[in-house]
Amino acid sequence: MMAPRKCSGCRERAVRPEVLDVYRAEIEHDGRKYTVEVPCLAVLKCQACGELVLDDDADERVIDALREAAGLLKPAEIRLHRKELKLTQEQLAGLLSIAESTLSRWETGTQIQQRSMDRMLRAFFEVPELRKFFGAPEHTWRGEAEIVYQDEFQLTRSEHMGFWSAAKQPVVHCLPERTVKVSATGQEGMAA
Ligand SMILES: [Zn+2]
């Protein structure tokens, strides 16, 4: 176990890795507030004042939960739907009149799409006529690409669903394998 770090809140040297049974937060996104819950979240916690520090891994899980709460497409879903249509990032960005860098950030998860853009994406992915209307290549609205892609997507989706349905169960305890790696400072330690 690593030595406790200094707390940026109370200045006590009492910040230690801890796995929270459930992390809860209210997060505002795109003008709305969402209550987000993440089970078994490895964080750094000040034992004196209770302040929490989230590393990149923890942040990513919280952002995923926010996407789930807001009902937005996940990065992998955007990427997979695009590939299903055999479009490059540059092509899809062009068709939607957005910057390629923006689409890239949605697909890597470093940026969350606005609700309006999420609707646009869903409509584009689901409605062949809309793709035709937007001037997308013919193969994207003839529909032959979808079956090829479906399998890959189902697999990834079921993985997602497996994770999320598990995440929605009341948390009894955190499995040891999950209580790993808090490496906010480059140091690694077992949080148990
Ligand atoms: Zn503190």
Ligand 1 centroid to Cα of residue 37, in Å, is 23
Q: Coil, strand or helix: which one is 33?
A: strand
Q: Please give the pLDDT value at position 159.
A: 42
The pLDDT tens digits of the residues spanning 56-80 come to 889 989 988 999 999 999 999 999 9
138: its two tokens: 């013919």
The pLDDT tens digits of the residues spanning 120-165 come to 999 999 999 999 999 999 989 885 544 444 444 443 444 444 333 3
Q: Is residue 6 a part of any domain in this protein?
A: no
pTM for this predicted structure: 0.62
Residues 62 and 91 in one domain: no
Residues 58 and 137 in one domain: no
- How many angstroms separate the CA atoms of 69 and 65, rounded? 6
Ligand 1 centroid to Cα of residue 87, in Å, is 49
Q: Is the pLDDT of residue 81 over 70?
A: yes
Ligand 1 centroid to Cα of residue 99, in Å, is 42
- How many angstroms separate the CA atoms of 17 and 77, rounded? 32
Residues measured by CB to lie within 5 Å of ligand 1, the ion: 7, 9-10, 46, 48-49, 51
CATH number of the domain at 24, please. Answer: 3.10.20
The pLDDT tens digits of the residues spanning 107-123 come to 988 889 999 999 999 99
Residues 116-131 as b or e (16 or more Cβ within 10 Å = b):
ebbebbeebbeebeeb
Ligand 1 centroid to Cα of residue 15, in Å, is 7
Q: Which domain holds residue 18?
A: 11-70
Residue 113 contacts residue 179 (beta carbons within 8 Å): no
Residues 139 and 46 in one domain: no
Task: Give the total number of structural domains in the chain.
Answer: 2
| Separation in Å, CA 31 to CA 34, 37, 51, 117, 121 | 10, 19, 26, 14, 20
Residues 83 and 173 in one domain: yes
The residue written with tokens 């309006």 in the block is 116
The pLDDT tens digits of the residues spanning 166-189 come to 333 333 345 444 333 333 444 444
Ligand 1 centroid to Cα of residue 6, in Å, is 8
Residues 80 and 137 in one domain: yes
Residues 92 and 186 in one domain: yes
